[in-house]
A and B are shown apart, each in its own frame.
Chain A
Amino acid sequence: MNVELRDPNVVMKLSRLGSFHQSKLSFLRSFLKEFKDWEYSRDLFELDKSGYGVAVYSFKKNDRVYSLICFANKLDEKERSDRVIATKWDAAFTLHDGVPTKKDIDRLKKEVPKQEVGRLSYKELTLSRANKSVRVFNHVVDCLSEGIQPDVKLLSKVGYLYRTTAVYGSGKFGLADRFRIKNRKEIYGPFRLEMMLVYLVRQFTFDQVNHVAKNKNPKKAVSLDLNICTNLGIGNSTGLGMAPFIVNHPTLLHNWIFARETALKKIREIKEVKVKDIKLFKDCLKKSLKNITSWNTESEYQQKKIKSLLQDLNIFINFLEKDFNFSQEFAFNKIYFWVEKNCDEECIEYIVSMMMEPYDEITSSLVTQMSSEEEKYFNIPTERTIEELREIIEKRYSRVLKIDFSKKENNKNFWFISKNKEEPRLADRFEENGSDLEQPLAIARDIKKLHESLTIFKNSSTIDKFLAKNPDLRHVVRRAFIIEKFPYSEIQDNTIGKSAIPIDMLRLKLSFFGALKFDPRSDKWLRICMFQGAPLPEQLKNYNDHWIYNSLN
């Protein structure tokens, strides 16, 4: 049986993308899988009794070494802010390519804590910073120094000791350009080195908290229980900076979604589902409920989604146990149809993720296809005709062509780059200044304008002639020819409309990262947790790939 890939007009809607969940394709899971055989070590740990100083952690295999260099500094309470607009942090980190020399560490000590205003070199691969969850960190120090383990309920509620507030890579602030390292087999999956940084930062937080507790009360202090460590992750605060990324990298976006859609298609095409796979699917599904019941948020928007997800999942599990016969042919295809008919988007995408759990043989090969050589598709095929371009637009953008941009609510916002932080922001074009400096992120509106502009050109006329007369539409002409080859490369929605929810764009990206427990703090920024439940570096050699459902929280 041949199952069709899902329609991009359905999958690429913002509300659907904003309902995606982590899966076996997620980058933090594929990172752990790739690096499980690497040799981990803590190479340097020079912190004072308050936990300030330098530490270095590394992963090594053959001649390749990646080293995380951590700088922990004293931070005044008043200066602590998670937002990207902050200028000082409790700790700053960089992932160095190779073994850093003393000279490298001295150089980086001056630059890394400054983050965006510091300068890195081609020897550094990623850059980040993080703040303590002071309440949790201090509680853990107090308990450990008294020889007792901390309150698991409190830890479980927060989920981490530190929150990162941005992770940079790919040439930012002088970091190595991707072309320098892209041929390394171990980083074929996207964001792998960003994931490595976050993972090693997590270990640093445990080592630091143990170190501070030990120094506070050397005779009595105990180390943080390893099971408790495993059930802590790293928090992250993410704002709008992440949203334009998925618009600015269309072929990469396609490859992520295409991998997910291909996995789903192949699973739905399985004629006879093996007993062990049924067991694993059900097992992961049931265990995963803990991740939902422990999902805390004050956001009403997210609370509604969680409530609906939990309701739908209970109905689904009931259906699975009482009414569904897994021994019938193409069982997962039937499950998919049932879920599409009976559940909301949040639950549909949850089940899609869960279906992948038994199928390493399907997902493993897809993981390596999730990067993109974007340069290859940059040139516009100017010899093509107006008729061909119109056909592409009408076929691939049928949903956005129906939007009426003369209505104020559909043209309400504009994306711009802020002057103080050079970060993407969203503003109301009718109430705030700056719409003349709008970023090219209103793709739906500009595609519609392109479609209208084509009407006065002859069908047989070529694109070069159109571009000579319409230079302002060049960016969307390029995109239209990209979507012809990459159908999942565009968000099929209006990203500047009144009803658009920007955090849906963040959620899409973060789900591919592998984040859990999305906690929107407004419609423009949110908090998440990464690596909660993940094995510690020392446990990687024999870890369980389904760790994400084994969290105690």
Chain B
Amino acid sequence: MKSLSEIETVSKRASRAAGFSWGIAEEIGKNIRLMEMFGINGIRNLNYYFKIKNKKNFEQVNSISSENKIKKLEFCPIASGLSFLDQVRSLESFGEIKFEKIAYPLLFVPFISRASEVIGKKLQLTIDNKFFLLNYNNSIYSNSFNDGIVEIGNNVLVKFCKNTDSFEEKEWDELYKLSENTFVEENESSKQVGAGAGLTDND
């Protein structure tokens, strides 16, 4: 079994050899490490992407808008991912961002995962029928692992999730009430000597 350190180093060097700058190669190395750690086929997709990269000259997207359409060929997953990561703070106001045709779109996933960490919000990524929920770069929830090599994502959509509760207020109240059973009624004297700044410390 290859270690994650080997995976990162080899991916970085291969990316440099494939024509990317060292700075971008470093990003790719980190990304492939993340993919393999999260159980997504990073090495396989990167390998196949590099095999056709120089033949197909994929399109760049330097400035991301809410709808990104290709002129001729598919978007490069690295260039679009990197632009998304670098610009993510200014993209949030769009709410959702569409890409038409991204080549080897699984390579786009770790950029979105890292972007989720950068802005402190969960992001949803849909690549055709594959769904990914990116949780602050701590974990990835998906209906699509071990997909092997995915050559194209025809419709790619990134949605910024609002930082809201995933539950009803009523459900919270019920659970809170149950948690109160760990509290002890205090008498007047302990109230006087032990009172701190607030009613609870939310610990």
Contact call B21/A472, Cβ cutoff below 8 A: yes
Contact call A171/B6, Cβ cutoff below 8 A: yes
Residues of B contacting A171 with CB < 8 Å?
Answer: 3-6
B146 within 8 A of A: no
B118 within 8 A of A: yes
Q: Which residue of B lies closest to A417 (CB)?
A: B13
Binary B-proximity of A154-176 (CB < 8 A = 1, otherwise 0): 00000000000000001111111
Given contacts A379-B114, A468-B83, A468-B86, are A478 and B26 in contact (CB under 8 A)?
Answer: yes
A-B contacts, 7 listed (Cβ < 8 Å): A122-B1, A174-B1, A380-B86, A383-B90, A440-B23, A468-B86, A471-B20
A467 within 8 A of B: yes
Contact call B21/A471, Cβ cutoff below 8 A: yes
B129 within 8 A of A: no
| Alpha-carbon distance between A170 and B33 when the two chains are bound, in angstroms | 14
Contact call A475/B26, Cβ cutoff below 8 A: yes
Contact call A177/B83, Cβ cutoff below 8 A: no
Contact call B23/A475, Cβ cutoff below 8 A: yes
Residues of A contacting B30 with CB < 8 Å?
Answer: 375, 378
B152 within 8 A of A: no
Contact call B2/A174, Cβ cutoff below 8 A: yes
Task: Return A465 CB to nearest CB of chain B, in Å.
Answer: 8
Residues of A contacting B22 with CB < 8 Å?
Answer: 439-440, 472, 474-475
B24 within 8 A of A: yes
Residues of B contacting A375 with CB < 8 Å?
Answer: 30
What is the count of residue pairs linking A and B with beta-carbon distances less than 8 angstroms?
Answer: 74
Residues of A contacting B86 with CB < 8 Å?
Answer: 380, 382, 463-464, 467-468
Q: Which residue of A lies closest to B114 (CB)?
A: A379
Task: Return B106 CB to nearest CB of chain A, in Å.
Answer: 21
Binary A-proximity of B1-35 (CB < 8 A = 1, otherwise 0): 11111100000010000001111101100100000
Contact call A174/B3, Cβ cutoff below 8 A: yes
Most buried by B among A175, A464, A478: A464
A515 within 8 A of B: no
Residues of A contacting B21 with CB < 8 Å?
Answer: 471-475
A477 within 8 A of B: yes
| Alpha-carbon distance between A476 and B26 when the two chains are bound, in angstroms | 11
Contact call B4/A177, Cβ cutoff below 8 A: yes
| Alpha-carbon distance between A472 and B20 when the two chains are bound, in angstroms | 8
Residues of A contacting B62 with CB < 8 Å?
Answer: 468
Residues of B contacting A175 with CB < 8 Å?
Answer: 3
A308 within 8 A of B: no
B182 within 8 A of A: no
Chain B residues 78 to 135 lying within 8 A of chain A, measured CB to CB, are: 83, 85-87, 89-90, 114, 117-118
| A172 interface neighbour in B6, B13, B27, B85, Cβ under 8 Å | B6
Contact call B3/A176, Cβ cutoff below 8 A: yes
| B24 interface neighbour in A172, A378, A471, A476, Cβ under 8 Å | A471
A121 within 8 A of B: yes
Residues of B contacting A467 with CB < 8 Å?
Answer: 86
Given contacts A380-B86, A417-B13, A468-B62, are A473 and B23 in contact (CB under 8 A)?
Answer: yes
Q: Which residue of A lies closest to B37 (CB)?
A: A179
Contact call A468/B63, Cβ cutoff below 8 A: yes
Residues of B contacting A468 with CB < 8 Å?
Answer: 62-63, 83, 86
Question: What 7 A-B pairs are tightest by C-beta distance, nearest first?
Answer: A474-B23, A171-B5, A171-B3, A475-B23, A440-B22, A464-B86, A382-B86
| Alpha-carbon distance between A284 and B20 when the two chains are bound, in angstroms | 53
| Alpha-carbon distance between A76 and B190 when the two chains are bound, in angstroms | 82
| Alpha-carbon distance between A83 and B64 when the two chains are bound, in angstroms | 51
Supplied contacts A174-B2, A463-B86, 17 more A-B pairs, CB within 8 Å:
A174-B3, A176-B3, A177-B3, A178-B5, A179-B4, A379-B118, A380-B86, A382-B89, A440-B23, A464-B90, A468-B62, A468-B63, A471-B24, A472-B21, A472-B22, A474-B26, A477-B23
